[in-house]
Amino acid sequence: MNAMTEEAARREFLTCMLGDETYAVDILQVQEIREVNEVTRVPHVPPFVRGVINLRGAIVPIVDLGLMFGFPEPAPLAGASAIVLDVDRRLVGLVVSRVSDVLALAEDEISPTPELGTRSIAAAIAGIGTRRNAKGADAVSVLLLDVDYVMRRVREERA
């Protein structure tokens, strides 16, 4: 495979930290990254929906992935970042500890999700990306989020 074809076969992901773990979302779904300033609480929503923000007239639910995954403590909102995603023309903001960088992965660097202990985490992981260094050793591993699953959970829990 020549360099042009290999580069075209790569997918780009925005990486972020949630606790000590590195996660990634398809960069084509990222609308923007913003600091979480004020979140309006909404009654009768699941605990992982921390509230909503008004983003240029669009009401965007803010989701705490840690709570969705069953972590015991909510993520602190002060100083946190939200990755605003466009999922089928619907917006959702994911609270993360830190946004890292962009990672390009070839298809052969993406593996299916193995059996994981917690069902809510396993269902939200679309795969594991492993970037290899020049010597062929694994250099970076990230959990690839299935943002469609996250959006379905938000919709189901609100119904």
Q: Under a CB-based contact definition with an 8 Å cutoff, are residues 24 and 13 in contact? A: yes
Residue 89 φ/ψ region, left for φ over 0, alpha for ψ in the -120 to 50 degree band, beta for the rest: left
Instruction: Please say if the pLDDT value at position 12 is more than 80.
Output: yes
pLDDT tens digits, residue range 87-121? 988 999 999 988 999 999 999 999 988 776 655 57
Q: What is the mean pLDDT of the chain?
A: 85
Characterize the bridge pairing of strands 49-55 and 30-35: unpaired
Q: pLDDT tens-digit profile of 56-97? A: 999 999 999 888 888 888 877 877 889 999 998 899 999 998
The CA-atom distances, in angstroms, between 132 and each of 38, 99, 108, 115, 139 are 40, 21, 11, 23, 5
The pair phi, psi for residue 97, each rounded to 5°, is -70, -40
Band of pLDDT at residue 7, cut at 50, 70 and 90: low
Domains, in order of start, for the chain: 3-151 (2.40.50.180)
**Tokens at 85, concatenated:** 């995603």
The greatest distance separating any two alpha carbons of the chain, rounded to the nearest whole angstrom, comes to 55
DSSP conformation letters of 11-51: EEEEEEEETTEEEEEEGGGEEEEEE----B--TTS-TTEEE
